[in-house]
Amino acid sequence: MCDALARNSPKLIETLLATACAREAQFTEVAESFPDECRYVLESLERYTDSTPSEGSRLTPKARLEFHQTHSAPVMEALHQWMETQFAEHKTEPNSGLGKAISYLLRHWTN
């Protein structure tokens, strides 16, 4: 885990997404006001975590990439699309607590 400072930019997808997972605290802080939306984000992050092979799995780098492309990527792609839709369809106010949490994740998202 690391913060989002540029000098701490992660090199591996697992580390990058762990950074996003670390920001789930923003969603738990606003969950009382936005329960359904926060539940979706937190459950998506949990599904990503559940679909990540453990360090002890001893997958080759190529096999790990293929695993992520098959199992983890669809979860993250759906979450990314959902966040983009929140603003595009004016479902979430950008200045709200939820909007700020979503904006943070979108600013640190890489494809």
Q: What is the pLDDT of residues 31-59, one digit of tens each?
A: 999 999 999 998 888 887 666 666 667 88
Measured CA to CA, the distance from residue 61 to residue 19 in angstroms comes to 20
DSSP string, 18-75: HHHHHTHHHHHHTTTTSHHHHHHHHHHHHHHHHTSPPGGG---HHHHHHHIIIIIHHH
- pLDDT exceeds cutoff 80 at 9: no
Q: What is the pLDDT of residues 63-89, one digit of tens each?
A: 878 888 888 889 989 999 999 999 999
Residue 55 or 30, more confident? 30
- What are the extents of the domains in the chain? 6-107
Give the mean pLDDT of 13-23.
54
3 DSSP assignment: -
